Each structure stands twice: as C-alpha cells, then as structure tokens.
Structure 1
Amino acid sequence: MKVEIRGNQILIDGYVNAVDRESRVLPSPRGYFKEKIIPKAFEKALSDSKNVDLLFNHKKDRNLGSIGNGNLELYEDNIGLRASATVTDEEVIQKARNGELRGWSFAFISKKDNWSDGQDGIQLRSIEELELLEVSILDQTPAYVGTSIEARGENTSLVEHRSHDEKVRVLEDKLDIEKRSAIVNKINEILGDK
C-alpha cells in the first residue's frame, strides 16, 4: 500500500488481494483450509456490481467513499485486485501521518467455489466467482495474511472478510530526503566551483 499525504487528503494505492496465491491457513466450521481467488473473479465481480464501498476497518458507520462517489477505483490486473482511493477522513489522514495504516481487506460472498484436498489434510478452497461487497483500509495488523471474519448477511449468505497485510509507504507532498540531499549536493558543487 502506498499512501501519499496531500494537505487535507490522502491518496492510497495498492493491492487488496493477489489472485491465484494461497492464503495462510484459515479456520472455518468445516475445519482448517487455505484459499485462493481465481484470476478474473474480481474482474467479473466488478462488472456485475453497481457499486463497492470503501470502509475503515470493515465498519459500516466509517464509510470513506465508494466507486459511485468517484473517490475509489478498483480493477483486476495480472497481479490481483488493485485499489486507488482518495480519502478526506481526518482520523485516517492522521493515522497515515503516524504510520498506523497497515493494509487492505475485502468482504465478499462466495458465489462459486471449488474445494479440494490439500497437503497435510488441509483443504484448498478456490473462489471462482464472488460478490464483492466492500474493501477496507485497516489500521490493525491482521493476525494472518488472510484473516477470516464470518457474518450472516441480509440474504443469509455467508459474508466473509479477508485481510491482506502489506508494507505501507507514506509519502509527504514535499521533497523527499533523497531529492533534498541531491539538491544540496548540487548547490554545494556549484558553490565550490566558484
């Protein structure tokens, strides 16, 4: 996740999920399993969806925007689900300044999945089709690369949350240290020649 602070807003960019990569071991009522999202599943979900919300820590009362609001862009590329968002929430901006943002997460309902036997008796679940409900920015480090929170939605489908922990880079809208150092060195070089 790359976080760029620009005055009273932040630009956040990064991968919500890398497709075709197994998660760490996840618990479920049917036992432990690993999971992966099949390529093009997010692309199809996005084409079928009218809107996807951007939340903070999966809290419905902390809506930071959406595709419909125009401050969230989601697309699937050859790596996975990529997100780009502009956030004006003061608390999230402060957490970005403090280096407290930890990564992305997403909530989904599985529409089509395939279970197979994996190594060491741990099953592998391949998500072929899903309904993408929301993506979240997190200020908590997930216990696992993929964490599981299960809740029943209005239509009694199982809503699942998966977190993706990645390094977060914060960039201020000022000259970074390398550029400043290069400028100072150049000035000293010019002044030294005179």
Structure 2
Amino acid sequence: MQIEIRNDSVTIKGYVNALERDSRALPSPQGKFVEQVRTGTWKNAIAKNDDIAVLLNHDWNKKLGSTKDNLKLKEDNIGLYAEARVCDADVIEKAKNNELCGWSFGFKANKQSWGKTDNEMQRRYLDDIDLFEVSILDNTRTPAYYGTSVEARDNEELCIEQRFVQDDIEVIDLVEKLVDEGRDDKSTELAKQLRLLELELEL
C-alpha cells in the first residue's frame, strides 16, 4: 500500500488481492482451507457493479466514496489494484500518524470449486463473486484475514465474507517533500494544484 499525503486529501494505492495465489490458511467449521481467486473474477465483479464502495474498517457509516467518483479498481496480471483519493479528515489524520495498515474487501461467492494442496489441505477457487466494497483498515481494527457478516439486502440475508490483505506501507508526504527540496511556497502550491488536477483527470 502506498499513501500519498496532501493538505486536503490522501491518495491510497495498492493491491487488494493477488490472482491465482494461495491465501494464508483460513478457518471454517469444516477445518482450515486456502483460497485462490481465478483470473478474470475481479474483472467480471467490477463489470457487474458500477457502485463499489470504499469504506473505513468495513463500516458503512464511514463510506469514503465509490467507483462512481473517487475509487478506481482494475484487474491486471497481478491482481485487484485499487486507487482511492480520500478527503475524509479522519483518514487524513490517520495517514499522517501512520495508523493505516492495509486493505480488506467484502464479497459474496456465487461460483466456487474445490481441490487440494500438496499437503492435502482443502483449496477453494473463487470463479464468480459479487464485490460490494473494499475497505481501508486502521490500527483500531484487529486484522482478520477471514471473517463473515450477515446483512439484509432487498429482503434477503446475504453472508458477506471479508478478507484482509497484509501489506507494506509506504507513506509519502508530498507537501513536505516539496518543501524539503527547497521549493518556495508559490511553486509548492502550484505543484499541489497540478497533481490534484492530474488525479481528477485520472479518476
């Protein structure tokens, strides 16, 4: 995860999930298993939902935006890549204090298949999912790679699964960087405005 800090926003980039790679061992009532997301699964999930939310800590009361405005999601040859420009003051403060710790995502599995690893552990393959949200996690939430919640949507109870992705955090304070490089206030402000304009064009 890369975090770029500005005065009035943070841009958070990184991979939410890697394709065709085993997860860590996940608990279930039937025993532990590992999980892989098939190539194309993220692409199809994004195509099916044009309003995927970005949340803080899976909390729908802390919705930070969506793919309709400030969140970009794409599947590439590595996995699910996310980029969000967040203007929430609480998130900006947490970024400045190095309190953001990774990505997570909430989904419903529609089609899956099973196999086994070399050491006979069950392996689950996700072939088709509904992706509801990606979350930025802070250090107030205990990272749980595997979790479930039951939500009522359209008079139907859905079992929503959650996955946490541990990541290295790189924090870049762009304003401080420009000042350290000896830029004057005018050029620093101009650079900030140009970068925000670039981000708006990208999003």
Q: Which runs of 4+ in 1 moved over 6 A?
A: none
Other-structure match for 1:170: 171
2:31 partner letter: G
Q: Under a length normalisation based on structure 2, what TM-score does the superposition of the two structures give?
A: 0.81
1:191 corresponds to which residue?
Answer: none
Q: How do 1:117-128 and structure 2 match up within 5 A?
A: 117-128=116-127
SS in structure 2 opposite 1:47?
helix
Contact 2:147 2:163 in 1 (8 A): yes
Per the alignment, residue 112 of structure 2 pairs with: 113
Preserved CA contact (<8 Å) 1:142 1:163:
no
Structure 2 Cα separation of the partners of residues 3 and 77 of structure 1:
20
TM-superposed CA distance for 1:106, in Å, is: 0.4
Return the offset for 1:25.
0.4
Using structure 1 for the length normalisation, give the TM-score.
0.85
Aligned length: 177
Distance in 2, matches of 1:11 and 1:50, equals: 21
How far has the Cα of 1:150 moved from its partner?
0.9
How far is 1:115 from its partner?
1.1
Deviation digits for residues 121-145 of structure 1, max 9, x if unmatched? 420001011000100001137656x
Say whether 1:62 aligns with 2:58: no
Deviation at 1:175, TM superposition (A): 5.7
CA distance in 1, matches of 2:143, 2:32: 15
CA distance in 1: counterparts of 2:137 and 2:158, whole angstroms? 24
| Superposition map of 1:4-83 within 5 A | 4-68=4-68, 70-83=69-82
Q: Is the 8 A contact 2:143 2:164 kept in 1?
A: no
1:41-73 residue CA offsets vs partner (Å, 9 max, x unmatched): 0000000113100000101111111112x1111
C-alpha separation in 2, matches of 1:34 and 1:49: 26
CA distance 1:125–1:83, shift in 2 (3 Å): same
Q: Counterpart of 1:153?
A: 151
Preserved CA contact (<8 Å) 1:142 1:165: no
Amino acid at match of 1:33: F
Name the % identity: 37
Query: What is the distance in 1 between the residues matched to 2:151 and 2:61?
Result: 16
Structure 1, unmatched stretches of 5+, are 182-194
| Alpha-carbon shift at residue 180 of structure 1 (Å) | 3.9
CA distance in 1, matches of 2:164, 2:114: 21
| CA RMSD between the two structures | 1.9
The corresponding residue for 1:98 is: 97
Give the CA deviation at 1:173: 1.4
Q: Secondary structure at the match of 1:167?
A: coil
Give a deviation string over 1:19-40, Cα, whole Å, max 9, x none.
Answer: 1111100001221100011111
